């Protein structure tokens, strides 16, 4: 995979995840789309390197697998104050910071940068190798969605794209590398129009009970528990919040074809 330039390596690479793109992406408001669409493709060499330096293997106490399916892997990240990882790699990824803190990132070339990672940050970054240390006084917690699919364009987004036909409920936080981070927000009793999603990873921020109606009219009710993580294949449906609380869910949509 073509590496991102040194200035962006740490800021984008918050892949401690923190393979991020905060400083490289010019848009700062969480509801705006990142207009940068990279066209790089993961090479066999980079894929091999990532496997050899898999964060869950070289830093198992800090990175644990929550879900792994369809070429998408979701990691739970937990760094207590003073925790430090060995040098490790991540493929292209999206990061969501649950609890922030102060972290030091060390690149392959030995360069160091200390960053104050904020809770609620969402980032997308390219493949990267680094080590991370929690140099703050708070525990840092995040989820990292690793995309183990070559960055070949998955084609235009479906005409029923959720952020278009149900924009009231689906807001784009970041959009780059054919990966999109979307925040979902349904108040009790609200219902969306029929819409589509590509393959995605889902993280429930605040819980509720939702009713999904498929294209053929089939209905199914699902309890969305706080902290739930799922990997879901492409689908078309409408959604109604039938619970008593506001539902907030983070989606990481992958607009890349499976291998």
| Domain at 51, CATH number | 2.60.120.10
CB 67 within 8 A of CB 74: yes
With 90 as the cut, is the pLDDT of residue 19 above it? Answer: no
Q: Grade residue 198 by pLDDT with cuts at 50, 70 and 90.
A: very high
* Residue 80 banded pLDDT, cuts 50, 70, 90: very high
Q: Mean pLDDT across the stretch 11-26? A: 37
On whether both 58 and 115 belong to a single domain, the answer is yes
Q: Are residues 191 and 232 in the same domain?
A: yes
Write down the pLDDT at residue 50.
56
The number of C-alpha atoms within 13 Å of 221 and in the hemisphere containing its C-beta is 5
pTM: 0.80
Q: How many CB atoms lie within 10 A of CB 209?
A: 17
Q: What is the pLDDT of residues 87-96, one digit of tens each?
A: 999 999 999 9
In a domain, 259, yes or no: no
Q: In this structure, are 178 and 121 located in the same domain?
A: no
Indicate the range of 8-17, 134-143, 248-257 predicted with least confidence. Answer: 8-17
Quick one: 42 and 169 in the same domain?
no
Residue 247 CB-half CA count within 13 A = 30
Residue 173, in any domain of the structure = yes
* pLDDT at residue 177, as a whole number: 95
pLDDT tens figures, 20-57: 333 333 333 333 333 333 333 333 434 444 568 999 99
Same domain, 102 and 126: yes
Neighbours of 69 (CB within 10 A): 13
pLDDT on residue 161: 97
**What is the domain range of residue 242?**
162-254
Number of domains in the chain: 2
pLDDT tens per residue across span 122-166: 999 999 999 999 999 999 999 999 999 999 876 677 899 999 999
- Given 114, 147, 180, which residue is the final one in a domain? 147
pLDDT bin (cut points 50, 70, 90) of residue 16 is very low
**Do residues 125 and 12 both lie within one domain?**
yes
Would you say residue 34 lies in a domain?
A: yes
Residue 1: pLDDT over 80: no
Q: Which of 102, 120, 147 is the last residue of a domain?
A: 147
The Cα 259–Cα 251 span in angstroms is 21
Q: Residue 24 in contact with residue 105, Cβ under 8 Å?
A: no
Mean predicted lDDT score pLDDT of the chain: 84
| Last-in-domain residue among 97, 112, 147 | 147
> Averaged over 182-187, what is the pLDDT?
98
pLDDT of residue 201: 98
């Amino acid at each position: 995979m073509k590496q991102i330039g040194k200035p962006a390596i740490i800021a984008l690479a918050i892949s401690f995840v923190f393979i991020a793109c905060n400083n490289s992406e010019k848009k700062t408001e969480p509801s705006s789309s990142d207009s940068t669409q990279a066209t790089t493709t993961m090479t066999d060499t980079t894929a091999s390197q990532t496997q050899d330096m898999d964060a869950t293997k070289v830093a198992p106490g800090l990175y644990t697998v929550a879900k792994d399916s369809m070429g998408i892997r979701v990691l739970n990240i937990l760094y207590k104050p003073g925790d430090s990882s060995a040098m490790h790699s991540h493929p292209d990824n999206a990061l969501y910071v649950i609890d922030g803190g102060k972290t030091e990132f060390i690149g392959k070339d030995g360069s160091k940068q200390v960053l104050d990672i904020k809770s609620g940050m969402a980032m997308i970054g390219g493949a990267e190798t680094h080590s991370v240390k929690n140099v703050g006084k708070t525990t840092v917690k995040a989820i990292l969605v690793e995309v183990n699919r070559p960055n070949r364009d998955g084609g235009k987004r479906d005409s029923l794209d959720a952020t278009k036909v149900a924009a009231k409920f689906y807001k784009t936080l970041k959009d780059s590398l054919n990966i999109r981070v979307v925040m979902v927000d349904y108040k009790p009793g609200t219902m969306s129009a029929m819409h589509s999603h590509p393959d995605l990873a889902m993280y429930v921020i605040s819980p509720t009970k939702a009713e999904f109606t498929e294209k053929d009219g089939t209905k199914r009710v699902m309890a969305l528990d706080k902290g739930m993580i799922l990997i879901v294949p492409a689908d078309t449906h409408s959604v109604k919040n039938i619970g008593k609380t506001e539902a907030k869910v983070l989606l990481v949509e992958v607009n890349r074809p499976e291998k």
